[in-house]
Structure formats: C-alpha cells, structure tokens
Amino acid sequence: MNMLTTRKTFLPFALPSISEDAIEEVAQVLRSGWVTSGPKVKQFEMEFADFVGSPNAIAVNSATAGLHLALEAIGLTENDAVITSSITFTATTEVVCYFHAEPVLTDVDPINNLLTPELLQTTIDTRCVWDGKNLKTKSTGKQVKAVMPVHLAGHTCDMEGIQKIAKKYKLIIIEDAAHAFPAVHKNKMIGTWGDYTVFSFYATKGITTGEGGMITTANAASADRMRKMRLHGINRDAFNRPGWYYEVVDAGYKYNMTDIQAALGVVQLKESHAFWERRTEIAKHYNEEFKNLKGLILPKDDVNGQHSWHLYRVELDTKLAKMGRDSFVEELKDRNIGTSLHFIPIFEHPYYKKTFGFNRAEYPNACKMYDRAVSLPLFAGMTKTDEKDVIDAVKDLLG
C-alpha cells in the first residue's frame, strides 16, 4: 500500500451537510413547544411545491411511506401488478408487496442503468398481454396498473418516452425520485412529470430531514386522500373544526412528518442549490481526473436535463482494470475511502427470489452492473482534501 495516499480518518461515501442555520431553525421549533406536524410542515410543503413547480406537495416521514401512499391513492389491490426497475432499493418494490400485488421487473440500460421506454415496451411485449383495454401479466393474470421509473443516481429517465407507453397501456406513473433532487428533465423539474413523484430526505440523500419524504402530484383528489391517509385516515376538514370532533374515514397510517424534521427541511431546501453545485463540481473533477484510467467506466452527464449528482457511480471493466470490483472496494477501504453499491438487483434478494421466482437470465445488464458497479464518495460537505484523497487513491489503484 502506498502510505502517501492513505488518509488518517475514514471518508464515508455520503454524509449530510447540516449548517448552523439549520441547527438554529430546529432549535427554535424545539423551544416553541410544537414538535409534531404543524406550521413548519405546512411551510416546507409550500416551499417545496413552489421549488419544483407542483400544485401539491405532501410531506411524510419517509419516501417509502410516500410510495406506499401513492399506491394506496391509485387503489392498488392484490389483483394488480406494477412494473419497475430491477436496479433500485427494496423500498420501491416492498410497497407493491404491502398490497399483495406483484412487482414486475425490467432490466436496465447498460450505460445509466435506468428503466428506459424500450425496456418498458419489451417487458410489456414479453411478460404481459394487452387485449386493447387491459394489460395483464402473462404468468399470473394480474392487472398492470402502474410503472415506477427510478432516476438512479440522479440521472433522469426518458419521461416523454415512458409517458407515451404509459398512455397507450393506461399505466399510472409513480416516479421514485429518491435520488433526483434537484433534477431537471427537458426543462421541467423532476416533481412535475409523473402522476406522482416521491422524494427522499433520508440522511444520505440530496437534502435531508434525518428521515423524511415528499410526494408531489397534480391530482388534487389524490393529494387530499394522501393527506388523510398519512395521519390515521382522519378527515382534515372535520379535524380543523374547533373543539374535540374529528372523523376517521379509513384505516390510515402514521406517516406524518414532524415540525422538527420540516424545520431542517426548510433550511436544507434553501441550501439545496449550493449543495448541488458542490456535488456537480466534485463529479466534474472526478470525470476529468479519471478519464484516462484504464478499466474505469465513468458516469455520463444527463444530456436531457440536469443531473442531481446524488451518486457518483462508476463501473470497473475488470479485465482492463486488472482488478475485480470487490478488491477495488477493499483496497479503497484500506486507504480509508468508503464506497457503496447502488444497488444489489432486486431479483437477487432471497425474499423476492422466493416470492416471485425471478429468473436472473432475463436481466443481463442488471447482472453485469452488479458485478462491476461501485459508488465513490460524493456529498456537498466534502473538502478539497477529501476530494483529492479519493482521486489519489483511485489513481494509485488504476493509474
């Protein structure tokens, strides 16, 4: 090991950036005595809706809860299926399973590892039956109701292409935008494309509230439904009446965001552009520094919009690099550089294998990615030294 390139402390692949302003805003909420959902949540929702340009934003306690509420709002049942990407976090598919519905997985494109219109069409052609009115899965006869594109790493999916197919087969689009804040696709922000868009404010995401999420939708009736269902199914109109009276109109969930989280969110939202600029700068530096390294395949810029640069995912061409991905990860760890993998394909996990019997031979690109991908450290709080340490370590290994 080259000791010159070894850091003294471990650099995680992601860390949140919490400013003194954010800490002060949270402290004010704590001092105010109102610590659960209240005025700060309302403010965060309004400012977030404004930021992405959506008429409705519904704050929840995670993106997982948001995806669940969106599927609830479209009335998903056990007789339904949802098409999504095989390269995503389990949150995207687990919410489908909450309804005992079936996740249908697409392969991903070999470059950006996204669900593309072509792959969506192929999945429909090979795994579904269209009778001119209904789209059903061939194997189980379940009705395909929705498609969930995942803007992996913050590179946007081809939304116009996906919309065209969704329209033809009457599919509702629910975007998993956990990585896509702030991201733009063809001059419109992510948050205004699909029928529903779900963002995550988990600790490592583009902005954070510790844990948290946001759903945006142009559908006012659904927005109303999700607002009720995130808080016990309580009818808000009744709830807002003076006195003790309220009405429960369904068996809802406990998915509300707190004012403590929202206070952090309000300040993070203000800082989000600066965070994004810094991440973009680091990604650019990586691209420049790594472009001549043998066997390292670099992430592509988003030619259709603005990449959020949530992640910097590279692939290792193990023959050219003369090193496997796993040893690359180990060597980086020895140099105190953290990495992560986004993601283990859904079909590789024991639960999904056992429950749905996925056949990995149907996902050649996802399998190839799984053998070769790794995410390098990328977050707004990285110092110049952190950045240089990553660059030196990678060059030391592959240069």
Ligand X SMILES: *Cc1c(COP(=O)(O)O)cnc(C)c1O
CB of 106 to ligand X, least distance (A): 15
Contact 201/211 with Cβ under 8 angstroms? yes
Closest approach of ligand X to the CB of residue 91, in Å: 4
Residue ranges in 297-316 that form contacts with ligand X under rule CB under 6 A: none
Site string for ligand X, 207-226 (x = CB under 6 A): ------x-------------
Whether 391 contacts 285, CB under 8 Å: yes
Contact mark string toward ligand X, 117..146, x via CB under 6 A: ------------------------------
Task: Tell me the sheet residues that pair with 312.
Answer: 376
Query: Which residues in 23-181 belong to E strands, given as ranges?
Result: 56-60, 80-85, 102-106, 128-130, 135-137, 143-148, 172-176
Whole-angstrom distance, CA of residue 203 vs CA of residue 264: 12
Q: Pick from 5, 200, 209, 256: which binds ligand X (CB under 6 A)?
A: 200
Q: Per rule CB under 6 A, is residue 150 in the interface with ligand X?
A: yes
Contact region with ligand X (CB under 6 A), list: 25-33, 89-97, 155-163, 376-384? 89-97
Name the residue nearer to ligand X (CB basis): 117 or 154: 154
84 lies in the binding site for ligand X (CB under 6 A): no
Least distance in angstroms from the C-beta of 310 to ligand X = 8
Residue 136 sits at φ, ψ, to 5 deg, of -125, 150
Strands (E), the chain: 56-60, 80-85, 102-106, 128-130, 135-137, 143-148, 172-176, 184-185, 188-189, 196-200, 213-217, 296-297, 305-306, 312-316, 373-376
Residues 6+ apart with CB under 8 A from 388: none
Q: Which stretch in 115-123, 176-184, 220-228, 368-376 sits in contact with ligand X by CB under 6 A? A: 176-184
Dihedral sign (CA 252, 255, 259, 262): negative
Identify the residue among 25, 72, 158, 176 touching ligand X (CB under 6 A). Answer: 176
- The single residue of 167, 205, 270, 333 carrying the catalytic annotation is 205
175 binds ligand X (CB under 6 A): no
Which is nearest to 215 in space by CA: 40, 45, 84? 45
Q: Should residue 88 be labelled a site residue for ligand X when binding is judged by CB under 6 A?
A: yes
Q: Name the minimum Å distance from CB 87 to ligand X.
A: 9
Q: Which is nearer to ligand X, 290 or 309 (CB)?
A: 309
Cβ distance 197 to 214 under 8 Å?
A: no
62 binds ligand X (CB under 6 A): yes
Q: How far is the CB of 85 from ligand X (least distance, A)?
A: 9
Give yes or no: 254 in active site.
no
Specify the amino acid at residue 73.
A
Distance CA 190, CA 183 (A): 6
Q: How many residues bind ligand X (CB under 6 A)?
A: 14
Give the residue, chosen from 49, 57, 63, 190, that forms a contact with ligand X under the rule CB under 6 A. 63
Structure tokens at 201: 């404010």
From candidates 52, 91, 104, 148, binder to ligand X by CB under 6 A: 91
Query: Taking the CB of residue 326, how many other CB atoms lie within 10 A of it?
Result: 12
Q: Give catalytic residue positions.
A: 205
Binding site for ligand X (CB under 6 A): 62-64, 88-89, 91-92, 150, 176, 178-179, 200, 202, 213
